[in-house]
Amino acid sequence: MQKPHVLVIDGMALLFRSFFATAMSGNYFMNEKGLPTNAVQGFARHVLTARGLFAPSHVVITWDKGMHTFRNDLFGGYKINRPAPPQEMVPQFDMAQELSKELGWINLGVVGMEADDTIASVLQKWEQEAHFTVVSGDKDLLQLLRPDVTLQFTKKGFSIYDTYHEQRFRDEYGIAPQQFPDVKAFMGDSSDGYPGVKGIGPKTALQLIQTYGDVDGVLASLHELKPGQRKKIEEAGELLHVSKQLAVIRNDVPIDVSLNDLYWEQAPASARDFCNEHGYRQVLRHLI
């Protein structure tokens, strides 16, 4: 019997991508109520197009729930430089989840966790029962690759993706996907605002993990490193371990739905009325 094919959507990634795709030209697709809909409609179109491209049997949408997460408690500088979302986007967070529900998709997210953690938890919960296509723009998700997981990173428009399977990752990086957080522990992440080891970039970080396996392996072999590298790592101190904790995507978010709940064939008839009422004309054109 063929396993279910679950399309796992990073809702936040698609929502932000859709917003800025048209906001740059000042087009927010205001509806009759005076509310912007560019992010909402772009998000839904992305999901509907992905469903057509990848032909899943099941669909689930994951979301961040608030800006403060356990990672902020680990490190005060985590994402501290991220600007607040533009005011035209603020109402669209709830609007997108409401539209998602009306279209028949399950929304998942837990306060204090990120969408990435929910994605990992979905993969963990049904790892023996399904195979997965994950749509996102976040390369941190590379650590989740395994034989039954395909990552589709948004690249251009609604239908062009950069596809990663586990073997492609191993060929390109020379390590296992699960070692990717160890690389990030050394190189840090300026976008997320955590430091890694000052003076060690992506190339050196990857070489260290290729050679020594993980953070602990590098620390146990400091005597083998060049004096300059050794000094940088020693000066980083506990920040190295904190950076790894920040880089690791957790897979213990409670998932309180069944796999059957994610089954999706088409939007209910009521979704057309909902889209008409809220001015989601672009979405209407993509519904069966």
42-78 exposure pattern, b = at least 16 Cβ within 10 A, e = fewer: bbbbbbbebbebeebbbbbbbbbbeeebebbeebeeb
Contacts of 179 (CB under 8 A, 6+ apart): 209, 213, 214
Q: Are strands 160-164 and 149-156 parallel, antiparallel or unpaired?
A: antiparallel
Contacts of 281 (CB under 8 A, 6+ apart): 41, 275
> Amino acid identity of 187?
M
pLDDT along the chain (288 residues), means of 10: 94 97 94 96 98 98 92 90 92 98 98 97 97 97 98 97 98 98 96 91 97 98 96 95 97 97 96 96 90
What CATH number does domain 5-171+252-282 carry, 3.20.20.70, 3.40.50.1010, 3.30.470.10, 3.40.50.720?
3.40.50.1010
Q: Which of 248, 42, 262, 11 is nearest to 132 (CA)?
A: 262
Q: Are strands 106-108 and 58-62 parallel, antiparallel or unpaired?
A: parallel
pLDDT at res. 288: 65
The domains spanning 5-171+252-282 and 176-247 adopt the same CATH topology: no
How much of the chain is in helix, strand and coil states, percent to nearest 5?
50, 10, 40
Instruction: Show me where the domains of the chain are located.
Output: 5-171+252-282, 176-247
pLDDT at res. 80: 86
Contacts of 139 (CB under 8 A, 6+ apart): 153
**CATH architecture for residues 176-247:** Orthogonal Bundle (1.10)
